Structure formats: C-alpha cells, structure tokens
C-alpha cells in the first residue's frame, strides 16, 4: 500500500482532493518494482506472485468511516469502506484460496498494513501463510521544537476527522488511547515485519 501522509483538517483534505493523493482522477499508471517486481534476477522470492498495488487516496491509512458527506467540501471520509471493497474484490478474484499472502505498505501505507494486519489474516484460509510488512509505518512520539507532540496530535486529529476509532485494532485501543495507536502497536495476531 502506498504512503502519502494523513489529512488532519478539512482544509488539508480539500487540497488532497485536487491531486493524486485524494482522487483517482489525477493518478498516473505505476510499474511494479522492488518486492513487487516481476524480474526473477532481482526479485527471486516473489517475482511470480500475484501482486496488487493499492493506491492511497483517503488520508487516514484506510481507517475512516463517516456516514455524512461534508456539505461544504463534498468530502467523504470513508477509507475503511475503500479498504473493505478492495479486499472483497481480491477475495472474489481468488485471494480467498491463497496459500501465502503478504500485506505490505510504506509510511501511511505501512501503518495501514499494521492496522489491518489481523483483519487481513482472518479473511484468508486458516492454513494460509500470512505476513505483514510495515516499511516506515511507525511514528516516533517525539516532541517538536515548539514543545508539541506532533505525531500524537496529528493522529488524534485524523482519528477525530475521519471517524477512525471503530476501525482501529481493539487489541491496541483496549490498552491505549486512539491517538497513540499510530505510535504503539500492541498484541497483533499476524506476524509483522518492520
């Protein structure tokens, strides 16, 4: 899953709506490379796997779910529904019979891989070998030069704006407040590589 940051305010989300981070109208075709590449010489372990690149366009690591459409901006905060539709489509196309699967992402997409890891594993056959890879999907709870906890505040704003609480892993939210889920990942069932 692609990275692309979060949109924490309606104003930030409106800006995203006008580019490839917020609308498929502005996305250009991508080629597969690295772990997704099809060249056996450079990717001997996964070159012949089925692969899907999930474009990132929701600004909440696919956790948002607000029923109402913002009447002023026409914004839809429904990243979790996008995620569910993508996975349902892939399951219908044969992923439901997978023997092995990897869910991976980078940055905000890496956080999405963490947040959806257990649910992804539960949707596949119990005998499937399932791993999740988070590339730069952990965020440090440091203090910025103004004395603020930037990541904590940012993710709290994401969770509030996008209505994300119900889509965060209960294994995390049962132990920490939702704004800390982007920082501390606890008790995931799926095997996670970071």
Tokens read off for 79: 């990243």
pLDDT for the residue numbered 21: 87
* Prediction pTM value: 0.88
Looking at per-residue confidence, does 25 or 91 come out higher?
91
| Sequence-separated contacts (24+) of 10-17 with Cβ below 8 Å | 10/70, 10/72, 10/73, 10/75, 10/161, 12/59, 13/59, 13/73, 13/75, 13/77, 13/161, 14/73, 14/75, 16/57, 16/59, 17/73, 17/75
Mean predicted lDDT score pLDDT of the chain: 89
């Amino acid at each position: 899953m692609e990275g692309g940051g979060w949109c924490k305010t309606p104003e930030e989300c409106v800006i995203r709506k006008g580019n490839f981070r917020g609308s498929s109208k502005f996305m250009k075709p991508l080629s597969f490379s690295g772990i997704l590449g099809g060249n056996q010489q450079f990717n001997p372990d996964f070159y012949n796997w089925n692969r899907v690149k999930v474009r990132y366009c929701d600004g909440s690591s696919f956790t948002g779910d607000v029923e109402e459409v913002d009447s002023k901006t026409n914004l839809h905060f429904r990243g979790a529904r996008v995620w569910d539709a993508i996975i349902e489509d892939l399951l219908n196309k044969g992923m439901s019979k997978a023997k092995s699967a990897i869910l991976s992402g980078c940055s905000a997409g890496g956080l999405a891989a963490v947040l959806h890891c257990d649910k992804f594993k539960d949707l596949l056959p119990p005998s499937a070998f399932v791993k999740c890879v988070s590339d730069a999907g952990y965020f440090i709870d440091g203090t910025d030069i103004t004395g603020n906890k930037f990541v904590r505040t940012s993710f709290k704003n994401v969770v509030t704006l996008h209505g994300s609480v119900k889509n965060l892993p209960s294994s995390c939210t049962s132990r920490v407040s939702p704004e800390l889920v982007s920082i501390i990942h606890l008790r995931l069932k799926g095997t996670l590589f970071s």
